[in-house]
Amino acid sequence: MATMKDVARLAEVSVATVSAVLSGSTYVSPDLTARVRSAVKTLGYAPNTIASSLKKGTTKLLGLVVPDITNPFFTELVHCIQKRAHALGYSVLLFDSDRDFEQERAYLRMLRAHLAVGTILCASAPERSYDELRSDSGFMPIVVVDHVVLSNEWDSVALDNMGAARLAVEHILKFGHKRIAIIAGPTYLVPGRDRLRGFEHALAAANVPVVPEYVRQGAFGEPEAYQAALELMDLPEPPSAIFVANNQMLIGTMRALAEKRVACPEDVSVTAIDDFPWASAFSPALTTVRQPVDSMAQAALRMLIERINGDDRSPRHMVFSPELVVRQSCKSPPSRGDSVVSSASPVVSVTAGQ
């Protein structure tokens, strides 16, 4: 592999001149510049930016840790952050923690060891767990997205999760539903806890009781939500509407309804938080609550860069408003004399578009 010394030798200039041409830090005559560039092209020389960064004790490297890259919300967030970071001259080192707190710790140590100048963290464990991370992150600035932790120390960006749940449930209530279920996320996560609270508040405001049998845990995962939806449909009096607290659980829910041959929205209305490309490909197209992912990514990156540049203000916490995307998955409930279609019924199942 060619070195800067090889370039200098071929161009018959000093190493300092090669460095000046490549960095543009000082003026170099057109003749010498042309000779250096010709030598670089001939040798195929590429500057070792990592070695240079290590010498300076700093890098243009950012960390990004997400709990599940297969979740469309985090996939979009990663895309938006990487695109914006690249435009600012930063590289992003991505880690998927698989919702494992010890992996998060290991990744933060690794980022610190590689001189990452800052990290965006999508946390996945109970808030109290993050008291242990101070030594792992050191002085590296951290901005958290989605699940807010260490709010007295770290900046954060999040959705108004209670407001998002209320939007979804109030839409269901407009159709006259009284038997409304929720497939909820883990309550040790802020989004899971707040979306459940938003569901409860929306029902209370409409004088509709929360039926304990209609509150099911889906763990923010497709298989768990699939099982929860099957159990809801097997109740003696199943719900006439289901609010699903995230997009992966929505997929599991719709799969369960299809298996049970329950028609949506004729038998059961469905809404969910997190819009995603497949939502409009289902039949019927699914009503969802959209997060402003690009704006959230922009805000998180901006706050991180400000911290990297020396901003020492108190921690800042930005909360973004959700948007209801109305499609065709809700309608008025069946009359009390009607029953939800059984698995033996010939009704066409609800399936995702291919």
**Using CA atoms, how far apart are residues 136 and 113, in angstroms rounded to an integer?**
10
**Using CA atoms, how far apart are residues 354 and 349, in angstroms rounded to an integer?**
14
231 pLDDT more than 50: yes
Fold classification of 56-159+293-321 (topology level):
Rossmann fold (3.40.50)
Give the pLDDT band (50/70/90) at residue 352. very low
- Per CATH, 56-159+293-321 and 161-290 having the same topology is answered yes
Q: Each residue of 258-276: pLDDT tens digit? A: 999 999 999 999 999 999 8
Q: Are 290 and 275 in contact (CB under 8 A)?
A: yes
95, two tokens: 């880690």
Q: Are 320 and 252 in contact (CB under 8 A)?
A: no
Q: Each residue of 202-230: pLDDT tens digit? A: 999 999 999 999 999 999 999 999 999 99
**Using CA atoms, how far apart are residues 289 and 37, in angstroms rounded to an integer?**
53
Mean pLDDT of 234-238: 97
Asked if the bond preceding 333 is cis, omega within 30° of 0, the reply is no
Q: Each residue of 87-130: pLDDT tens digit? A: 999 999 999 999 999 999 999 988 987 789 999 999 999 999 99
Residues with Cβ within 8 Å of 347's Cβ and at least 6 positions away in sequence, in order, are: 261, 263, 341
Closest CA to 131 of 105, 98, 97: 105
In this predicted structure, what is the pLDDT of residue 139?
81
Q: Are 70 and 101 in contact (CB under 8 A)?
A: no
Which CATH architecture fits 161-290? 3-Layer(aba) Sandwich (3.40)
Mean pLDDT of 323-349: 66
Q: In one letter, which amino acid is 289?
A: V
Domains of the chain, residue spans: 4-47, 56-159+293-321, 161-290
Mean pLDDT of 220-242: 97
Q: Using alpha carbons only, what angle is made at residue 265 by residues 262 and 267, rounded to the nearest 5 degrees?
A: 45
In this predicted structure, what is the pLDDT of residue 322?
98
In this predicted structure, what is the pLDDT of residue 337?
52
In this predicted structure, what is the pLDDT of residue 214?
98
249 pLDDT more than 70: yes
**Using CA atoms, how far apart are residues 157 and 297, in angstroms rounded to an integer?**
8
Cβ burial, residue 326 (10 Å; 0-12/13-18/19+)? exposed
Q: Each residue of 36-95: pLDDT tens digit? A: 989 988 988 866 555 555 455 567 899 999 999 999 999 999 999 999 999 999 999 999
Q: b/e string for 255-269 if b means 16 or more Cβ within 10 A? A: bbbbebbbbbbbbbb
Specify the pTM: 0.80
Instruction: Return the percentage of the chain with pLDDT > 70, whole number.
Output: 90
Determine the distance from the C-alpha atom of residue 163 to the mean position of all C-alpha atoms in its chain, rounded to a whole number. Answer: 18
Q: Using alpha carbons only, what angle is made at residue 153 by residues 147 and 156, rounded to the nearest 5 degrees?
A: 35
**Using CA atoms, how far apart are residues 62 and 200, in angstroms rounded to an integer?**
39
**Using CA atoms, how far apart are residues 244 and 90, in angstroms rounded to an integer?**
37
340 pLDDT more than 60: no
Asked if the bond preceding 223 is cis, omega within 30° of 0, the reply is no
In this predicted structure, what is the pLDDT of residue 85?
96
Other beta carbons within 10 angstroms of residue 70's beta carbon come to 11
Provide the mean pLDDT of the chain.
89
